[in-house]
Structure 1
């Protein structure tokens, strides 16, 4: 009798667990490698890296069918460094994404929480830096257009449409959560269209923030942008678009983005600045109230075999940081990737950047290496592996 009761109890437990698992998925990706850079702050660098191409993460996503084509959805996603086990995104538990909402088969989805902007959602997939074919080091200088997700936004309400015969659109609004309603808020919108092998997309992102507001530096603050920042400027406007076409095993594309900054005098760039805004070796600050970055990226991806893929991108970036300082950045990223299985692959990636038209001798800066080069060139080579679960 006791055994029968025990079996019945265990059966009930496992039935409940199975029911719960049917709507909740545990997933993740681990990206680990070794990177060599020829000049980082004036010295060669060997570095054990996490997330060179795709940020290491684990997460939970789930849904509940509410009937009538409506369901509740959620995603909780943690970013971490596989080399030391620490959380990314300023130490947040779910720093990559954290949202809940409703999704309708007829009207699209509305979600609330910490989320990506529309430039990331729509334009980034057409750029090598925003995909598995380029990643962090291949980002446009300083990730000036946020295609590599340097900044994610708190307090965000997002709308995502359904797919209308290949056409999708959406937008976000990120609250400041402050009585200063317009300070430290952000909003964005974008759209994409796919037909056969053709994909086109466009997006716009605006950030409003008092550049002297210490909330940008603290992840504990209330605003839309806290603890993570690219530029110290009163206003940032980023817009862009892209196109790619797939024919057989090859995909070729072009992406253009532009970032305009205002109220920028005295500000700087996070990748080459300390937390107080003081320039480090090779760093740059803005010499006028306005600054601009324009990126022109051409990219190609080719599946040589079902297991072996090749990818490459060239980006020409024109920068104007005021005071007649107009450096031009030439960035090349090349990658070969071999799939050992459906979930595990190894890759070799090389990145090179050269700065020209450079009156102040600004050093090259490949994203994620830690320090700018003391010369106009910087090279990085990474060998790594990725595992998905």
Structure 2
């Protein structure tokens, strides 16, 4: 039996003279690390934490992918993907059984692919493709995701590829009777690919329960030159004052999306009266030093206006990674990062990188092991 493939019974179905075939693939990633990070917020002030944590690059997950060939260039597809913590075994993503992905779709060689269900956002997927580490897993390496959101319930996704040109359109229903806009998200992505280049742009808009809007656009590219790959992108996100998301697991508008809100300030809940703008940029380079060793360096920067009325802020992170492949599926790594907050971002409850216990900076490092199956 081929590893990772579960053969299904009853596959000898004839359709249009062709033999219809089905398969279900079991897959997953486990990433675990020992992490050091100072200036963690505690009741007794900022403290240093050293412990076993989820890995630097991936939240652990397992999933099932299914494909059924329907004939005439068409096939049915599905993905069910569940996240968990490898250090405790607990479910991730608000405890949803398939909180990472749960969708069913149809694909056709001529007409494209349509998927229905809980899915990753188009902006998030694009950023994964151009980010130097495909978005990290430590909060210090993944804070751009609070600007785009990660996954959206009740989503219809259409995608199509024409040679190097690709398009993806998404609409996440708010699921509120009598109000189609409330809790909805619409995204549109355009990409262009060659052998060495991946580039594109995405626009997104979300509406909360009271009609407050979040809008963003992002553009970027990844370009390979011999053993080097260059990465860069720019993201501009705007949130109306009062923009709020539902609590995880509540079933209320924009719950379970991981989008950052703009309703509160350091002065308290509901005190935000300013529009917030995050002008985020990231750049980095990867170097395939040997067949097994890859080195990565990256820089992230967020200029924030409207932290609260009349107050701006700045968030910065620089990081480096050495990744060594033990096999095609298993790697060990060393990761180091330094983050710094300035201005209003030091006490900002909406700071995308989280609190540093009221201090300006944080230094972190992790040693980890990652395997895929």
Q: TM-score range by the shorter chain?
A: 0.7 to 0.9
State the SS of the aligned residue for 2:312: coil
Q: Does 1:37 align with 2:37?
A: yes
Q: Once the 2 structures are TM-superposed, how far is the Cα of residue 125 of structure 1 from its aligned partner?
A: 0.9
Q: Once the 2 structures are TM-superposed, how far is the Cα of residue 239 of structure 1 from its aligned partner?
A: 1.1
Match of 2:322 among 326, 332, 336: 336
**Per-residue CA distance 1:69-121 (angstroms, 9 max, x = gap):** 00000000001111111111100000000000100111110010000111122
Question: What does 1:18-29 align with in structure 2 at a 5 Å threshold?
Answer: 23-29=23-29
> Corresponding residue for 2:102?
98
1-side partners of 2:153 and 2:88: how far apart? Answer: 26
Answer yes or no: is the 8 Å Cα contact 1:363–1:376 preserved in 2: no
Q: Once the 2 structures are TM-superposed, how far is the Cα of residue 237 of structure 1 from its aligned partner?
A: 1.0
Q: CA 1:124–1:255 in 2, change beyond 3 Å: closer, same or farther?
A: same
Q: CA 1:377–1:268 in 2, change beyond 3 Å: closer, same or farther?
A: farther
1-side partners of 2:66 and 2:364: how far apart? Answer: 39
Q: Does 1:201 align with 2:185?
A: no
Q: Once the 2 structures are TM-superposed, how far is the Cα of residue 141 of structure 1 from its aligned partner?
A: 3.9
2-side partners of 1:326 and 1:53: how far apart? Answer: 30
Question: What does 1:254-293 align with in structure 2 at a 5 Å threshold?
Answer: 254-264=232-242, 287-293=272-278
Question: What does 1:1-389 align with in structure 2 at a 5 Å threshold?
Answer: 16=9, 23-41=23-41, 42-128=46-132, 130-131=134-135, 134-139=136-141, 141=143, 143-146=145-148, 151-162=150-161, 164-179=162-177, 180-210=179-209, 234-264=212-242, 287-320=272-305, 321-356=307-342, 358=343, 361-362=346-347, 371-389=355-373
Answer yes or no: is the 8 Å Cα contact 1:128–1:135 preserved in 2: no
Answer yes or no: is the 8 Å Cα contact 1:264–1:291 preserved in 2: no
1-side partners of 2:362 and 2:221: how far apart? Answer: 29
Q: Once the 2 structures are TM-superposed, how far is the Cα of residue 34 of structure 1 from its aligned partner?
A: 1.2
1-side partners of 2:219 and 2:199: how far apart? Answer: 7
Q: CA 1:27–1:364 in 2, change beyond 3 Å: closer, same or farther?
A: same
Q: Once the 2 structures are TM-superposed, how far is the Cα of residue 18 of structure 1 from its aligned partner?
A: 8.8
**Per-residue CA distance 1:111-140 (angstroms, 9 max, x = gap):** 100001111222331013534xx4443546
State the SS of the aligned residue for 1:289: coil
2-side partners of 1:37 and 1:283: how far apart? Answer: 28
What TM-score results when the alignment is normalised by the length of structure 2?
Answer: 0.83
State the SS of the aligned residue for 2:25: strand
Q: CA 1:59–1:361 in 2, change beyond 3 Å: closer, same or farther?
A: closer
**Per-residue CA distance 1:234-293 (angstroms, 9 max, x = gap):** 2211211101210111101211001100033799999xxxx9x8779x999874231010
Higher strand share: 2
Q: Alignment length, in residue pairs?
A: 342
State the SS of the aligned residue for 1:94: coil
Answer yes or no: is the 8 Å Cα contact 1:364–1:376 preserved in 2: no
Q: CA 1:382–1:68 in 2, change beyond 3 Å: closer, same or farther?
A: same
**Per-residue CA distance 1:176-219 (angstroms, 9 max, x = gap):** 111122111111010111123122111112111136xxxxxxxx
Query: Where do 5+ consecutive residues of structure 1 fail to align?
Result: 1-13, 212-232
> Corresponding residue for 2:254?
none
Q: CA 1:286–1:107 in 2, change beyond 3 Å: closer, same or farther?
A: farther
Q: Once the 2 structures are TM-superposed, how far is the Cα of residue 379 of structure 1 from its aligned partner?
A: 1.3
Answer yes or no: is the 8 Å Cα contact 2:264–2:272 preserved in 1: no
2-side partners of 1:347 and 1:69: how far apart? Answer: 42
2-side partners of 1:323 and 1:367: how far apart? Answer: 18
CA RMSD of aligned residues (A): 3.2
Q: Once the 2 structures are TM-superposed, how far is the Cα of residue 52 of structure 1 from its aligned partner?
A: 2.7
